[in-house]
Every structure is written in structure tokens, then in C-alpha cells.
Structure 1
């Protein structure tokens, strides 16, 4: 395992702990969110890179069903290569996503003249529409707790939010980065369907990167949806270092 992958593993283990409790199942850890919000997932315990049995995966899935949360697992293929076979034998479907790290400060991105891309603070009037963008972008019903939870996370320094805002003060695209020490992941970058193909998601990502660097973050990374999206992030300077895997029941 490379030093970079070790650094990301430490981050993956740390970032859910601000809002979730960790339940250990042998080589696996299930993060259970405390309160409302996006549910978390199971992943390999920190430092575990060996084999995982089907029975151990099944135990976690049973606990997830008991809790009423999605039967989801997330991990890095190169870090824990022995998990995929067990997850698939348990009946879950595995999806692959390019895992990308940024070299340097990131390149500037042109922004349409009628749009401003900026960091959104906890008291910013655009926060409610920015909080709603990922739900609309990914076709997920909005959570009534989205705004207060995001406000609290921003206030606590756990999340930094950026948005592309039109002249009326409505967010068209938004995304976040979640710093833990010198590492931060860019997440939840989405654009409203009617505002796509204008480069807004990439512009939001560039602002998030600049904000992370200004705060001393040394490692900025993300998981791209697929290879075509990875090529877009490559324009900012991101490069693929591995494969992020997400397993879930067949739809």
C-alpha cells in the first residue's frame, strides 16, 4: 500500500466519527449516524487489508437491516483487495469509481458571466438553495434536516460549502469538502439539470480546492462517477491513484 493510500485510509476512518458511532464486526466497521442525515456505510477497519469472509459481510448486512439503513459498503480496491469477492458472494453489486488525488494547487476554471462561484458560510442567504442542489442533482428526496445539519457542520468547521449562484441568488451547482487535519475530500458536487454543460460543477470544485489549500490542506481527493467525469477532473490537475468501490443490493 502506498503512503497516499494509507493517508486516505486514516481519513476514511476518521471523517464519519464526528457524526456517527463505530460498530466493530471483526475486520469490518459499520458507521451508524447519530441523528438524521445521510446514512453511513460499512468499510474495512483501519489497518485491515487482508481477507474478509462472506459470513462477516452477512453479519454487517443483518445489522444494517436491523437499523433500517442501506446495506452499503465502501472501500478502496487496492487497499483491501480481499473484500470484493466476499461482498459479491453475499449478493451485493459492486460499482467502481476512479479515486483521484490533486497534484498542485489546481487550475483556474472559466465561469459564465451571469454566475458567481463562491464559498457559502453558515449565515449566507443562499445556503438553503445550495443545500438542496445535491438532492435535486442526484434525484434524491430532500431531507428536512439538510439545512440545519449543513449549517451546524459549517459552523463547526467540519464542512466547507461552495456554490455557483445566479443573478437571482439561487444556487445552480454546489459541492463540499470535508477537512480532517491535512486531508480533505471533495464530495456531493452536483448541478441542477437545467444548468448542466456550463462547467459549473468544475468551477465549484476549483473553488473548493482553493479554499482547502488556503486552509493548509495538503491532500485533496475525490471519487469520480466514471471515467468520463474523471477526465473532466483531470483538467483541474486530479490524477487517478486507485479505485473506490461501493457495494449495494441490486436495484
Structure 2
């Protein structure tokens, strides 16, 4: 299972980023505009990673003007953490969870419609913006158009919880690569929290993924409390996703 997830992690950035080989590490560099990527272990590398290899990638990230960030699975490449921390980066742990079964349907609260959002949908703009608003941010100009292009290309599936006016209060995505997909970016605008909207959006993404033939559906929870919520949908923790940043 973890090998399939590793293959997914290596494949998914390649649709919009170039991959630079740096010994035991791969640095993904966004082509054009979009969310910046990160470095991670080269596919198949499970051994130790020298500190100087991490330093070299960080130097390259500074040269490119992109965040000095690394993402990997603790159980797959256990030797990377010590090297990353030796360079002064901070490592955050997140439960890596895999769905068991088809998932559990979650009814939408009264007055809310939870559905998939396509590229030409009138709800696209607010569905893209909602997860940013959840973290006090705003998407860069053109983000909705880029998400729409990814939807059209089959690289992204978007679900949203809409109010009676058709505005998205919560939204999230899953990103299919063959029979594997990851649920990402689920967020609820602050004024609509504690209504179960994020869970309902996640359930809709799971249902869409299974309907489209996904054999392996996984996600990374922000912390143990959120992981318990996803557990209500049938997800279970199988490993630890690590994110390191300056």
C-alpha cells in the first residue's frame, strides 16, 4: 500500500511541474503559475539521506525563489528526518489515512447542497476560494481557471457545499492518478464551521472517487483530532506524512 502511495506522490506533481534529480531527492518545480511544489525522496529510495544532499536542494530552492520545503512518508524513508532537521528545518507530523470500504454517506445540513463542481460551473470561483478562506488566505488571480483546466483534463475533481444562493461554504478536491487518488484541500469558510460541511464534502469526494474506479483513496489529516473525524467516514491511519519547512 505504501509503495502505491509513493508512486502516486512521485507521479501527481509531474502534470504541472518539472522534476529535478538531486541524488536521493527529487525537486518538483512548478511550470508557470500555481501552488509551489517541494522536494521529496526519489522514487524507490528508502535509505538514509546525507545532510549535504538536503542542503544542496535547499540552495537550489533559494536560487529558484521557491519555498524550502520537503514532504515524505516517515515509514518509507525514515532516514530523511534527521538530515532535514540537521539543516534547521521544522518537521510537522500528519496522520496518513487510507479509506476502508466505500465510505459512509453524510447528509447535507438543511439548506445546503453538496455536489461536484465542473469547469464551467457558476460555483467554480467560490468553490476554489473557500478552502483558501478557511486559512485566512485568498487565491492568486487565475487560480479558478487553472483548477478548471485540471478538471477538464481529468487531473482534479472538485466538490463543494453550497448555500441557497449557490455560494460555496466548504470545498475540497481529489486528484486521481490511475486507480489511486488523494483527497486534498478540504476547507470550510470560518462563518460556516461546526456544521459538518467539511465531512460532507469529503464524503462526496470519496463517493465520486469510488464511482470512477479508484481502488485506493487516501488523505493526510492535519492532526489527530481531524483524523478522528475522517475515521467516521471509514479512513484509518496507516503511516505518518511529514512536511518540513523553514
Deviation at residue 139 of structure 1 after TM alignment: 2.1
Which deviates the most, 102-111 or 26-35? 102-111
1:16-35 mapped onto 2 (5 Å cutoff):
16-35=13-32
2:196 is matched with 199
Normalising by structure 1, we get a TM-score of: 0.97
Deviation at residue 135 of structure 1 after TM alignment: 1.2
1:70-149 mapped onto 2 (5 Å cutoff):
70-149=67-146
Which deviates the most, 92-101 or 133-142? 133-142
Which deviates the most, 105-114 or 55-64? 105-114
Q: Over the residues paired in the alignment, what is the CA RMSD in angstroms?
A: 0.6
2:221 is matched with 224
1:15-63: CA deviations, max 9, x gaps? 0000000001000000001010100000000000000011000000011
Distance (Å, rounded) in 1 between the aligned partners of 2:23 and 2:132? 34
Normalising by structure 2, we get a TM-score of: 0.99
Distance (Å, rounded) in 2 between the aligned partners of 1:110 and 1:160? 20
Deviation at residue 222 of structure 1 after TM alignment: 0.1
Q: Which of the residues 230, 234, 238 maps onto 1:233?
A: 230
The number of residues matched between the two structures is: 246
Q: 2:39 touches 2:70 (CA, 8 Å); kept in 1?
A: yes
Q: Which of the residues 165, 168, 187 maps onto 1:190?
A: 187
Q: 2:129 touches 2:138 (CA, 8 Å); kept in 1?
A: no
Distance (Å, rounded) in 2 between the aligned partners of 1:39 and 1:145? 15
Runs of at least 4 residues off by over 4 Å? none
SS at match of 1:85: helix
2:2 is matched with 5
Deviation at residue 134 of structure 1 after TM alignment: 1.5
SS at match of 2:12: helix
Q: 5+ unaligned residues in a row in structure 2: which ranges? A: none
1:66 is matched with 63
1:86-110: CA deviations, max 9, x gaps? 0000000000000000000001112
Deviation at residue 140 of structure 1 after TM alignment: 2.6
1:174 is matched with 171
Distance (Å, rounded) in 2 between the aligned partners of 1:221 and 1:70? 25
Distance (Å, rounded) in 1 between the aligned partners of 2:165 and 2:96? 35
Distance (Å, rounded) in 2 between the aligned partners of 1:184 and 1:139? 27
Distance (Å, rounded) in 2 between the aligned partners of 1:188 and 1:35? 21
Q: 5+ unaligned residues in a row in structure 1: which ranges? A: none
Distance (Å, rounded) in 1 between the aligned partners of 2:3 and 2:36? 24
1:155 is matched with 152
